[in-house]
Chain A
Amino acid sequence: MNKLNELTNQQGQLEQMVEDLLAEAKSQGASAAEAGVSKDIGLSVSVRMGEVETIEHTRDRGLGVTVYFGHRKGSASTSDFSSDAIRETVRAACNIARYTTEDPCAGLADAALMATEKPDLDLYHPWNIEVDQAIATGLECESSARSLDPRITNSEGATLNSHDGLQVYGNSHGFIGGYPSSRHSLSCAVVGQQGDSMQRDYWYTVARAAGELEAAADVGRKAGERTLTRLGARRISTRQAPVVFQAEMAVSLLRSLIGAISGSALYRHSSFLLDHLGRQIFPEFVRVHENPLLSGGLSSAPFDSEGVTTRAKNFIDRGILESYVLGSYSARKLGMQSTGNAGGVRNLAIQPGELDLDGLLGEMGKGLLVTEMMGHGINMVTGDYSRGAAGFWVENGEIQFPVEEITIAGNLKQMFAGLAAVGKDEERRGSIRTGSWLLEPMTIAGE
């Protein structure tokens, strides 16, 4: 079986399914409809302590349809692709629409916003990896971590994932589009021991094309190094201190920003950034932008989940909130227009600064470097922020010792306003890219 062409050859078939779903919806009386069909084929191989642990062959598919009877809406989905199930699914969606309320904001995105060009964004690089090769890669990765130091005493293993997907979306404006994509990753997590206490840490690499993954030995080595640096962690006393969020952690702060300027939070009045459009929320040096059309980007897409053209834009420029994150429904609720963000932001990035992580620590002088956070202690209505953390205590710009079992607390609005610098050490492995952030003092609770 040649995996290489398996999905691309199915695009026509999936497009036909979307057309059939839309036709079925129309024949059942819907005035408008939209449908999506997706398939995903994957291999996941895990090794642990030098042995194979699991080999999983994944094969997922799903189709979903939303129907509109005027401004009443119903949705249904299924993993069963038989023609009976498809009819039943459309019928279920239509039945639901009999009971939902007339909602003037409900409906397809405006026809004028539909993507007319669907550029090839270079998202599909299938990897014909055999199970044996995946095992060998995992073993090399884990071994690199375990052989690093005798204090690495145990392992949660290494996992190689390779997934190819195909998705097609269409609606009754006549829009139809689809594209295949691939995603491959390698991760490793090991356990270190010092005295009675154990620490675990991990590293991973992810890319559209296998050739862009970090080398297996490097992934393992970083997982091991990160684990070792955490050994001997201790608590610190309760205090106020400036904080550097290492790039991977700073991603979550940008995610909170996006949550707060998302249409659904705004029209529900459940955001701490309500009515902040055009207002200064970050210092002037801050620019946050998205580039959905980035070639080969991990979250690139030529159109959003409603068929609307995606485009590069600023959300924050010179510290000012320039745009909300809107799909068609929330846009109408707010009396605005979709920003092409149905389904989220794509390749969002904050403009990197001049300093690397060491430079930021030097700038901070004395404070906390946060390298891990736990829990979900964020109140998006008020911006109140309180999360479990682990990291390193820093003095004179130098790491002194690892810390754990502390919390950091503040308010996101003040944290954003108090952003002192962004590093150039960009985390690039997800839909959000950022360097590390240096923030003004927060409350650290500990002993």
Chain B
Amino acid sequence: MSTPIQIARGALLAPAELEDRDLDRVMDQLLGAEIDAADLYFQSSRLESWVLEDGIIREGSHNIEQGVGVRAVSGEKTGFAYTDEILLPSLMQAGQTARAIARSSGQGEVHIQGVATPHQLYQPLNPLQSMTEQEKVELLRQLDAEARKQDPRVSQVIASLVAAHDVVLIVSSDGTLSGDVRPLVRCNVQVIVEQGEQREQGSSGGGARQPFSFFLEQDRALGYAREAVRQALVNLEAIEAPAGSMPVVLGPGWPGVLLHEAIGHGLEGDFNRKGTSAFSGRIGERVAAKGCTVVDDGTLPGRRGSLNIDDEGTPSQNTVLIEDGILAGYMQDKLNARLTGVASTGNGRRESYAHLPMPRMTNTYMLPGDYDPQEIIASVDRGLYAVNFGGGQVDITSGKFVFSASEAYLIENGRVTQPVKGATLIGNGPDVLTRVSMVGKDLELDSGVGTCGKEGQSVPVGVGQPTLKVDELTVGGTNT
């Protein structure tokens, strides 16, 4: 099988007959006086999606996106241009535009050399072709049938399959040329259940850097259909959620979105270099209770948030953010690492060639502790047990963050009792983890559904955690 670099050269350079010496020329022109670093980001993406609704395959779409982003950096200044024509004249022109960030002109000298990626966390395959169209639509029909046979109250099923094939080639002013082929698949099932006048919804899904066969293994896809129905039926029985501060037990896996919002964003290198994060200048300080260790790990095989290399060509790594409660490190891209005198942690990511890279998370999770999850629930007199969440958001400057529960229960006298309606939880990032009093031994990662937005750019990410008890968190229900 070809290596990712060979595939990337074939897909991105060969059609325009671009040779390494052409790339040298573009880089030479980009570099020179006042320019500290520059890079070219070649990308070719194919995206395909299929949607079933009302029992029929309603629509499908296919999208091609390709181009080159050209960046020149001078001190804290960045010049950026891109072109969707991968041709030498367009590249040279984009280079001219990007380097205008520096007042004086100049000429560098770069000789590009390919570097192999140290990881192979996923196969360099095209997931669009990993199943026939007939098999894809058949799978969607099975999801519809599986959901509907769970309960006669299921009135609507929307199921989708998405595959992305992303081929990137990164040429950096340090002379390295690296490439990556990133498959990504996603499956989602959403259901509406009706009981008399009352309606509720539930949804479930998963994804990975794998071929579509991932969904057939371990009964995953049909499991999403059953899980979506289960959640919707639970919500039909939900009573008003409580309002106010109380102990909250968060289930394992996807509730790790807490970590993503409460501390993850605040530990991104750009905010900390600028001093706009509530975590700025706090390395070495206690920001979580003893026993809390949080990492950002881009090296987990096949995970949605994993990368062989980041979008600046730096190999992804496992970065310890919080070690036993103490703030240990930030996530860096090249620009912020250089300006703060540290090394990139392989967190430089971008939505596409048409966007600038910045420090972003990969898979962010907390390591397991010692407690049995049942023991954690049993320790709460009155509180909330939240097991499924929608999205979240954070104000990194004030540190305030929210995340919205979509499946939660009351805990009364150490026992999980009634389901409650969805409610938003709000807290303060720098101190929420200091209130973690019990960490379960049941670490789980999410099923591969996370998408993180920052400054208008979306990238796939993962989260995870064991069952956690936060002694006090504000629950935004209606029942006072």
Contact = CB atoms under 8 A, between A and B. Distances in A.
Interface of A: 48, 51-61, 73-81, 85, 88-89, 92-93, 95-103, 106, 131, 154, 156, 191, 197-200, 233, 238-240, 268-270, 274, 374-377, 379, 381-382, 384, 386-388, 390, 404-411, 443-447
A57 B78 contact: no
A233 B194 CA distance: 43
Interface stretch (B62-70, B212-220, B326-334, B360-368): B62-70
Contacts of A53: 76-78
B423 A409 contact: yes
Q: Give the interface SS of chain B, mostly helix, strand, loop or mixed.
A: strand
A274 B81 CA distance: 47
A73 B427 CA distance: 46
Contacts of A443: 243, 476-480
Nearest to B198: A382
Given A445-B474, A446-B474, A55 B79 contact: yes
B402 A268 contact: no
B201 A386 contact: no
Contacts of A57: 80-82, 94, 97-98
A55 B77 CA distance: 8
B378 interface: no
Given A156-B276, A200-B276, A374-B393, A99 B137 contact: yes
A371 to B, nearest CB: 13
A183 to B, nearest CB: 15
B199 A75 contact: no
Which of B199, B245, B395 counts the most A-chain CB atoms under 10 A from its CB? B395
A268 B192 contact: yes
Contacts of B426: 374-375, 388, 405-407, 445
Contacts of B423: 377, 386, 407, 409
Pairs of residues from A and B, 6 with the lowest C-beta to C-beta distance, nearest first: A407-B476, A388-B402, A101-B56, A375-B402, A377-B424, A200-B397
Interface residues of B, number: 78
Nearest to B476: A407
B62 A96 contact: yes
Interface string B129-172: 00001101100000000000000000110100000000000000
Contacts of A88: 64
Interface string B416-438: 00000111111110000000000
A191 B60 contact: no
Contact of B356 (A54, A191, A382, A445): A54
A386 B404 contact: yes
B475 interface: yes
Contacts of A375: 391-393, 402-404, 424, 426
Given A54-B78, A55-B100, A101-B56, A381 B201 contact: yes
Interface in B46-64: 50, 53, 56-64
B35 to A, nearest CB: 13
14 contacts: A57-B80, A58-B82, A59-B81, A78-B63, A96-B61, A154-B275, A191-B276, A269-B155, A386-B422, A388-B401, A388-B426, A407-B423, A409-B243, A446-B244
Contacts of A60: 84, 354
B276 A80 contact: no
B185 interface: no
B64, B354, B480: which has the most chain A beta carbons within 10 Å?
Answer: B64
Interface in B259-311: 274-276, 278
A81 B98 CA distance: 23
Interface string B67-104: 10000000011111111100000000010011011000
